[in-house]
Amino acid sequence: MEQITLGRSGVQASRIGLGTWAIGGWMWGGTDEAAAIATVRRAVDQGVSLIDTAPVYGFGRSEEIVGKALAEGGMRERVVIATKAGLNWQDGAVFRDSRPQRLRAEIEDSLRRLRTDHIDLYQIHWPDLESDIAETARVLEDLRREGKIRAIGVSNYSVAQMEAFRAVASLDTAQPPYNLFERGIEADVLPHARETGLTLLCYGALCRGLLSGRMRPGQTFSGDDLRRSDPKFQGDTFPAYLAAVEALATLARERFGKSVLALAVRWVLDQGPTVALWGARRPEHLDALAEIDGWHLDGESRQAIDALLARHVPTPIGPEFMAPPLKRPAGV
């Protein structure tokens, strides 16, 4: 599997990372622990060496599952664990919180849940506009010097916020949403990464399953599934996106003999200094891993992809619906 060094940290990882939001269960309709553990282990056995998680994914559940999955057979030594900090919750409501005392508490909780003595990549999950970025960066730089983390990243930060962070601490990665349907970072974050040596961990590479090729018209989502809040999965918009996926699937099959899922992941990897985070809940969700390496998109195919996207989804919808509130609850 293709490898990449995370920024200037010296930490090397696979260019496909396992995203573990869904296995935490929260906003994905619960979790099956046995299937989740089997998924993590299969990913590692197939060459995926980067596992991305976060405390808020199931309010600790995802980290616990990852820690349990990696605890046997020397698997911890084979992977780069990327987790996050800077989100808090109260009665199930999530809010941004990068105060130093919160970050210090979070690192200890994550180390315990993950059953490890260090985090390979520690990321601030969302910018906290009520905390000083320099102070946040200073805490992470201190954690790096203490040996508790090896590399530093941010997630969902603007270029200006990353520059403010970088003035105080080393910065190796950024984690933005990026896929064939959500391309806002091409205006700023992606060129900034190319210019400054940042590695981008692109979340939502399959756009909440839209680009998996498994969804069908009339499909519904229940319970706390976040796709009930995503405008792409609502009303007349959902069929338009599915039509785009069908057209992409035809292109992938006719030009490359690949699945639409493989096309979507390969497209992300071909954009620059990127890692594609692949969300999976069951081992069979990783079956297409073997389709990714050994080929690239040519210029003509890129143009054809852009043309069919413009035809089917002329006004694409972004991922803004996922952003947590800007302010902490009163009294917190």
pLDDT tens-digit readout, 207-258? 999 999 999 998 999 888 889 999 999 999 999 999 999 999 999 999 999 9
pLDDT on residue 29:
73
Distance CA 53, CA 243 (A): 31
Distance CA 173, CA 273 (A): 10
pLDDT on residue 79:
98
Distance CA 304, CA 326 (A): 39
| Residue 57 is a catalytic residue | yes
Cβ atoms of residues 50 and 14 within 8 Å: yes
pLDDT tens-digit readout, 10-67? 999 999 999 999 898 766 677 889 999 999 999 999 999 999 999 999 999 999 999 9
pLDDT on residue 72:
86
pLDDT on residue 215:
94
pLDDT on residue 288:
93
pLDDT tens-digit readout, 101-133? 999 999 999 999 999 999 999 999 999 999 999
Distance CA 328, CA 2 (A): 40
pLDDT tens-digit readout, 173-206? 999 999 999 999 999 999 999 999 999 999 999 9
Phi-psi region of 177 (alpha: psi -120 to 50; beta: other; left: phi over 0): beta
Q: Which two tokens stand for residue 223?
A: 């319970």
pLDDT-derived band at 331 (thresholds 50, 70, 90) equals: confident
pLDDT tens-digit readout, 309-324? 999 999 999 999 999 9
pLDDT on residue 27:
65
pLDDT on residue 222:
86
Cβ atoms of residues 166 and 146 within 8 Å: no
pLDDT tens-digit readout, 280-315? 999 999 999 999 999 999 999 999 999 999 999 999
Mean pLDDT, residues 267-280 taken together: 96
Query: Helices 237-256 and 260-269 meet at what angle, rounded to 10?
Result: 80
Distance CA 251, CA 260 (A): 8
pLDDT tens-digit readout, 77-107? 999 999 999 999 998 899 999 999 999 999 9
Residue partners of 320: CB distance under 8 A and separation at least 6: none
Mean pLDDT, residues 6-13 taken together: 98
Cβ atoms of residues 151 and 81 within 8 Å: no
Looking at every residue in the chain, the average pLDDT score rounds to 95
CATH fit for domain 3-322, picks 3.40.920.10, 3.20.20.100, 3.40.50.720, 3.20.20.70:
3.20.20.100
Catalytic residue among 57, 122, 203, 241: 57
Phi-psi region of 166 (alpha: psi -120 to 50; beta: other; left: phi over 0): alpha
Q: Quote the pTM value.
A: 0.96
Distance CA 175, CA 295 (A): 25
pLDDT on residue 26:
67
